[in-house]
Structure 1
Amino acid sequence: MSTNHVQSAVTVLGLGPMGRALAGAFVEAGVRTTVWNRTAGRDTDLVGKGAVSAATAEEAVAASELVIVCVVNYDASDGVLRREDVTAALKGRTVVNLTADTPQRARDTAVWAAAHGVDYLDGAIMTPAPSIGTTEAVFIHSGPAELYRRHQPVLAALGGTHTHLGEEIGRAAGFDIALLDIFWTTMAGYVHALALAKAEGIDGRELAPFAQGIGAILPPLFAEFAEDFDSASYSGAINPLTSAVSTMAHVVHTAEAHGIDSGVMRAAEGLVRRTIALGHGGDGASRLAEVLGRR
C-alpha cells in the first residue's frame, strides 16, 4: 500500500467514550475514518460527521492499513482481533492498541501479532476523552521505532503530544500502570481526607484550597525522590521515616476514632514501620521503593 494511503485512512475499533473521541478527532482532521463497535448504534453521530460505518470488524479492518483499537481491556480486544476472519484481514496491516491493560498482556499480544503477520504498536492515553483532538492530549507509545515513525503523521491527528518510549513493547503499558498507581493512590488519600475532614466538621470546599497547596509541593518531591531512588542515596535529611511514621499514626488514630476505615493508611504505615525495623529509620521515603522491590 502507498504511503499516502497509510497517512490518509484509519480504522477505529471500539466506540466507547474514548473510542468515539479518537474517531471524532480523525474525522475532524480530514482522515478517512472507518468505525466499528460490537454494540450497534454508537456510530450514528460519527457517520453524520463523515465517518464510514463498517458492518463487521473484518470489514472495518480491511478498510485501512492502520487499525486503532480502544476497548475496556485486552480480553475485549483479543475477542475482536483474534477472531479468525479478523486475524486474516489484519495480515500485513498495523494495529495500534490504545487499550489499557498490563505490560505482559501487551507482550503477549505482540507475540500473537508477529505470528500472524500483523505489525503491532502498543500505547496508552494519559488524559481524559475531552482532551482528544486538543493540545492537552497526551499519548505514549512503544514498539518498533520505524513502525511508529511510519504512522506518526496520522496519529498526530489526535492532537497533543505523542512520545515513543522505546522498542520494548511493554514500556507504554509499564509507564501507564506506574502513573495510574500514582493517580489512584493519591485519589484514595484525598477521598479519605475528605471523610476525615467532614468528621471533624470541615467541609470539602474548605479543605480543597489547602489540599491544592499540598498538591503543589509534590512535583519537586517527585523529582527529588526519583533521583534519590535511582542513585540509591535514599536521603532522609528533610523528613526521615522515623518522623514520618509518627504523623501517619496520627491520621490513623483520628480517622478510626470516627469509625472511618483506614486500611490504606495502615498499609502505608505498616510499610514504613517494617522499613524502620530493617534499619532504615534515618532514610527518606525513597527507601520504601527499594524495600518494596526486594525479592
Structure 2
Amino acid sequence: MTTASERNDAQPAVTVIGLGEMGFALAGAFLEGGHPTTVWNRTAERADPLVARGAERAATVRDAVAASPLVVVSVKGNATARALLESSGDALSGRSVLNLTDGTSAESRAVAEWVGDQGAQYLHGQIMTIAPGIGGAETVVFYGGSDAVFHRFQPALRLIGGRATLVSADAGVPALYGMAVHGTMWGALNGFLHAAALLSSEGIEVKRFLDDAGPSVAALLGSFPMMADEVDRGEYATQYGALQHHRPSVEDLVRESEARNIDVDFPGYTLGLVNKALENGHGDDSYSRLIEHFRKR
C-alpha cells in the first residue's frame, strides 16, 4: 500500500538502514529536513534518540524497505549491505536504493546489478566527510548510477551534503573518486609530516614555515590541472622542470634527513622513482611521467 508520505515528491519518505556513526547522522539530517524517516538497526536501541525526534522504528529490514520509496543503506561493507537488502525479499521491487557503504568499485557494481535484478533502481554515493560534516553546504558527495534516482531525490540528497554531484552512470566510479581523493590526501599528509619532522629537528615552528612558504605550498595544488592534462594526453616532454632537475633536490632531501635522523623511506621512495625513470631515458620528461611506475603491466 502506498502511503501519503510516499506520494509526496517534495519531501518523500526515507528509510535509513544502519545507524552507525554515519547512518545516525544521515537519519538526523533527513528528519531535520522534514522527511518522514524510518530507521532500522541490528541493535534496536541505537534508534531511540531518533525515534524521540520523530523517526519510525522498523521491526525488520523488510518493514523498513517497504516504508519508503528511498532506501538509504549505510553499513560496514557491501557484503553486509547486500545481505540486508536480500532479507527484504520482494519489498525491494519498485524502490530506489542509495548505497552509501564504503568498498571497492567492483563491489559497488555488483550490488547495483543485483538491486537492478530485483526491480529496483540504484544509486551509489561516496561521502567525503566524517559524520559531523553531514549536511554541510560544502560537503562533497560523489554519486554514480541512476540519473532518475539522483534527480528525483536531489533535494533529499542535498541534505547529506551541499555539493552533491552525479559523476557517472557507472555505480563504481564514486568509489574510485573517493579513493583518488584519499590517495592524494595521504600522500600530501605524509609529505607534510616528513617536512614537519625535518623543520622541528632544527627547532623551527611548523606554523611559521607555513606562514612564510604558503604561496609555494599552494602552488603545488595549482600544478594538478597541468599534470592531469599530461596524464590524459600521455605526453610528458617538458621544457622546464624535467625529471633530471628533480633528482638533485630529492637527493639533498634524503641526505638532510639522514643527517638529522629523520626517516628516509618517504623521500627515498621518491628518489627511487626518479632514478628508475632516468635510467629508462625519461630525464627530459615532466614529473607526470612517473605515473608509468604505478601502472603495472
Mark yes or no: TM-score above 0.5: yes
1:146-191 CA-to-partner distances (Å, cap 9, x unmatched) read 2322222322333402111121221111211111111111112122
Aligned CA distance change for structure 1 residues 280 and 25 (closer, same or farther; 3 Å): same
Letter in 2 for 1:186: A
Q: Structure 1 vs Structure 2: percent identity of aligned residues?
A: 39
Instruction: Work out the CA distance in 2 between the residues paired with 1:81 and 1:222.
Output: 40
- Cα deviation for residue 10 of structure 1 reads 0.5
Partner in structure 2 of residue 137 of structure 1: 139
Instruction: Work out the CA distance in 1 between the residues paired with 2:136 and 2:212.
Output: 30
Instruction: Work out the CA distance in 1 between the residues paired with 2:270 and 2:48.
Output: 48
Partner in structure 2 of residue 70 of structure 1: 74
Identify which range, 26-35 or 7-16, moves more after superposition.
7-16
Aligned CA distance change for structure 1 residues 87 and 182 (closer, same or farther; 3 Å): farther
1:37-77 CA-to-partner distances (Å, cap 9, x unmatched) read 23343333322322222233333222112111123332442
Residue 34 of structure 2, aligned match among 8, 26, 30: 30
| 8 A Cα contact 2:135 2:158, kept in partner | no
Instruction: Work out the CA distance in 1 between the residues paired with 2:10 and 2:113.
Output: 23
Partner in structure 2 of residue 8 of structure 1: 12
- Cα deviation for residue 3 of structure 1 reads 4.7
| 8 A Cα contact 1:27 1:33, kept in partner | yes
- SS of residue paired to 2:38: strand
- Cα deviation for residue 124 of structure 1 reads 0.7
- SS of residue paired to 1:122: strand
Matched, 1:205 2:203: no
1:112-137 CA-to-partner distances (Å, cap 9, x unmatched) read 22233332111111233333223112
Identify which range, 9-18 or 47-56, moves more after superposition.
47-56
Aligned CA distance change for structure 1 residues 58 and 248 (closer, same or farther; 3 Å): farther
Partner in structure 1 of residue 46 of structure 2: 42
Letter in 2 for 1:46: L
- SS of residue paired to 1:158: coil
Letter in 2 for 1:204: V
The alignment covers a number of residue pairs equal to 293
Aligned CA distance change for structure 1 residues 233 and 54 (closer, same or farther; 3 Å): same
Instruction: Work out the CA distance in 1 between the residues paired with 2:88 and 2:252.
Output: 57
- SS of residue paired to 1:267: helix
Residue 243 of structure 2, aligned match among 237, 241, 244: 241
Letter in 2 for 1:189: G
1:250-277 CA-to-partner distances (Å, cap 9, x unmatched) read 2223323344333233222212221121
Partner in structure 1 of residue 61 of structure 2: 57
TM-score, normalised to structure 1's length?
Answer: 0.88
| 8 A Cα contact 1:236 1:285, kept in partner | no
1:233-253 CA-to-partner distances (Å, cap 9, x unmatched) read 324333111121222222223
- Cα deviation for residue 5 of structure 1 reads 5.8
- Cα deviation for residue 78 of structure 1 reads 3.4
- Cα deviation for residue 292 of structure 1 reads 2.6
- Cα deviation for residue 203 of structure 1 reads 3.3
1:190-242 CA-to-partner distances (Å, cap 9, x unmatched) read 22222232223233333343564444112320111112222233243331111
- SS of residue paired to 2:91: helix
| 8 A Cα contact 1:6 1:65, kept in partner | no
Instruction: Work out the CA distance in 1 between the residues paired with 2:198 and 2:249.
Output: 15
Across the aligned residues of Structure 1 and Structure 2, the Cα RMSD in angstroms comes to 2.4
Residue 126 of structure 2, aligned match among 96, 121, 124: 124
| 8 A Cα contact 1:228 1:235, kept in partner | no
1:84-138 CA-to-partner distances (Å, cap 9, x unmatched) read x224432321211112221111111112222333321111112333332231121
1:23-46 CA-to-partner distances (Å, cap 9, x unmatched) read 111111101111222334333332
Aligned CA distance change for structure 1 residues 111 and 191 (closer, same or farther; 3 Å): same
| 8 A Cα contact 1:95 1:121, kept in partner | yes
| 8 A Cα contact 1:17 1:129, kept in partner | yes
Letter in 2 for 1:4: N
| 8 A Cα contact 2:12 2:69, kept in partner | no
